[in-house]
Amino acid sequence: MSNTDKPSMALFWGCFIALITTAFGFITRMFLLDDASITSDLLGLDDAEVGMFKGIQIWPFAISIILFSLIIDKVGYKFAMIFAATSQIIWGIMGIYGLSVADTNPELAKSMLFWGGLILALGNGTVEAFINPVVATLFDKEKTKWLNILHAGWPGGLVIAGVAVILMGGASWEVKLSLIFIPAVIYLVMLLRCQFPVQERVAAGVSYREMLGEFGFGGAAVVAILMFLQLDQAIPGYTKLWMTICAAMAIGLGVYTTSLGRPLMFILILLMTPLATTEIGTDGWISGIMANAVSFHAGWILIYTSLIMMVLRFYAGPIVHRFAPIPLLILSSVLAIAGLFALSGASGAVWIFVAATLYALGKTFFWPTMLGIVSEQTPRGGALTLNSVSGIGMLAVGVLGFPYIGALQEKKAVAEVAALEEAKNVPGLLTDGNISADALEDKSIYYNAIEYQSLKAEAVDALLENQDEKTKEAVAGAKAGSAQKALASMTRFPFIMLIAYVALYFYFKSRGGYKPLDVTSKVH
C-alpha cells in the first residue's frame, strides 16, 4: 500500500455504499420510465421521447467521470464526494416534485424528470471518479480483487432497490424515488469523517502531463468522436460547432502531451464499447425485451442476474487468484455468448432463469476486471486512465449501444413477420418473400453509421384490417416475440471481446506473462 500501513475499511465501505446509491438512482428511474401509466398516460411521451429520457441519465455520467478525473487530484476526493451526493439528492427532490405537479403541469413535470436525470448522471459519474482511484490506492497490491469487491455495490444496489420497487407495488412513485435518499445520506455522513489517501500517481511524483500522456491523443480522439455524436443528436443544428470543439479538445491534448497514448490503453478503450453494451446495454433493455416472454414482472430477470453478480464480485478473491485477469475475461466472454444465445430462445420461467444464469456468470467480471487491468498496466495514468475506461464505456453505450440494440430489435421484427406463413396470404404485405416497401420505413442514426428498417405500424395495420383474427394474432405475436430473439444477434459484442482477449493473452505471454506494473515503470 502506498500511503498508509492499513487500509481504512470505513473509507472502503463508504465508497461501496456510494456505488449502491448510483444503482438506486439508475434502476428506480429506469423502472419509472418503463411505467406507461406515467410516461404515456400522464406525461404524453412516445417511445422515442422515453428513449431520450433514458439516455440523459447515461451519457452525462461519462462527461462527469472524465472531467472530474482531470481535476480530482486538484480539488480533492472529498469535494468530489460531496458534489456526487448532493447531485443524487437534488435528483430525488426534482423527481418527486415533478411527479407531484404532473396532473396540473405536465410540461414542468417533464422538465423536472428530464433535467433531473442529467443531474443524477453527473452525480453518478462523479461517484465512480472518486471511488475507483481511492480503492486502487488503498489496495495497491490487490487492485483487481478489491475493485471487483467494490463493484459488487452496483448489482447490490440494483437488487435492493429493484426488489423494493416491485414489492412496493401500487405505492406512489414519489415514495419509490425517495429510496435514493437513504444510501446517499449514509455515505455522505460516513465519508465526511474519513481521511482520503493521496493517489499513487501523485505520491510517486508523476507529473500531470505524464498522466495525460498515458491517455494521449488516441484516447482523446475516441472521447471526442463519442461526445460529438451525442451533442449533435441532443442539441441539433450546431454540427460544425460541436465538431470544432471536440476536435480541438483531442488535438489540444495531443499537442500538449506530444503523445499518441499507450497502445495497450487505446485497445482497452476500444474494448469498452462492446463490453459496456453487453452489460449495461442489455441490462437497460432486458425488462422491455423479455416483457412478452414472461408472465411475471420482467424486472425480476435483471434483479436475479444482478444478485449473481453481487455475490460473485463480493467473493471475487479466490476467483481472481485462480484466474489471471485475461483468462478470466476470456472465460467471461464465452459464458456471455452462451447466455445471450440461450436467453434468445428460452421459454418458460425455468429455462429463462437458467439462460439468465449463464448470462450473469458471463457479465459479472467484465467491468471491474477491466478497471483492474487498466490500473495495473497504466498506473502512471492515475485517476484519468482508471476512470476514463468507465466513462468511455458509459458514453459508448449511451451513444451507440442503446440505439444499436434497438435497431437490432427492429430488424428482427421485420424478419420475423416476413417469415410468417400467414403473411403470404396478406395482399400487399410481402414482395418476393420480403416485407413490401410500402410497409417499411428506412431509418439511420449518426450519419448512416447505424442503418435499419422498421415496420410502418399504420401501414401494416391497414393491410391487416380485413384479415381474420388468426392472421392478426400471428403478426402481433411475431412482432412481440422478435425482441427476445434479437438477443442472439447481440452475441456479436462478447464475440468481439473474446477475439481481442485471446489476442491480448498471447501478447502478454510473448512478454513473459501478465504482470502488474509499478507506478515507477515507464513503458512505451
Q: Where are the domains of the chain?
A: 1-202, 409-486
- What's the pTM? 0.83
Full DSSP string of 176-189: HHGGGHHHHHHHHH
Among candidate residues 387, 394, 390, 441, the one with its CA nearest the CA of residue 413: 441
Q: How many residues does the structure list for the chain?
A: 524
CA 439 to chain centroid: 34
Apex 378 CA angle, 372 and 383, nearest 5: 75
Q: Quick one: cell of 284?
A: 437497460
Q: What are phi and psi of 503, to 5 degrees?
A: -65, -40
Instruction: Centre a 10 Å sphere on the Cβ of residue 432 and count the other Cβ atoms it contains.
Output: 5
| Parts of the chain with a pLDDT under 50 | 1-4
| 142: helix, strand or coil | coil
Instruction: Output 253-259 pairs: Cβ under 8 A, ≥24 positions apart.
Output: 253/212, 253/215, 253/216, 253/217, 253/220, 254/216, 254/217, 254/220, 256/209, 256/212, 257/209, 257/212, 257/213, 257/215, 257/216, 257/217, 258/213, 259/212, 259/213, 259/214, 259/216, 259/217
Q: Residue 36's pLDDT is what?
A: 79
Find the helix or strand (DSSP H, E) in which 454 lies: strand 450-455
- Residue pLDDT, tens place only, 78-90: 999 999 999 999 9
Q: Residue 122's pLDDT is what?
A: 94
Q: Residue 175's pLDDT is what?
A: 95
Q: Torsion over CA of 282, 285, 286 and 291, rounded to 10 degrees?
A: -160
Distance separating alpha carbons of residues 487 and 428, to the nearest angstrom? 30
How far apart, in Å, are the Cα atoms of 482 and each of 76, 161, 220, 347, 437?
49, 29, 38, 13, 20
Q: Residue 495's pLDDT is what?
A: 96
Q: Residue 60's pLDDT is what?
A: 84
Among candidate residues 472, 452, 468, the one with its CA nearest the CA of residue 460: 472
Distance separating alpha carbons of residues 476 and 482, to the nearest angstrom? 10
Exposure pattern of 335-345 as b/e (b: 16+ CB <10 Å)? bbbbbbbbbbe
Q: Torsion over CA of 219, 224, 230 and 235, rounded to 10 degrees?
A: 160
CA 4 to chain centroid: 33
Distance separating alpha carbons of residues 418 and 412, to the nearest angstrom? 10
Among candidate residues 198, 223, 256, the one with its CA nearest the CA of residue 394: 223
Full DSSP string of 51-91: HHHHHTTTHHHHHHHHHHHHHHHHH-HHHHHHHHHHHHHHH
Distance separating alpha carbons of residues 45 and 76, to the nearest angstrom? 41
Distance separating alpha carbons of residues 293 and 344, to the nearest angstrom? 10
Provide the CATH number for the domain formed by 1-202 in this structure: 1.20.1250.20
Q: Residue 522's pLDDT is what?
A: 65
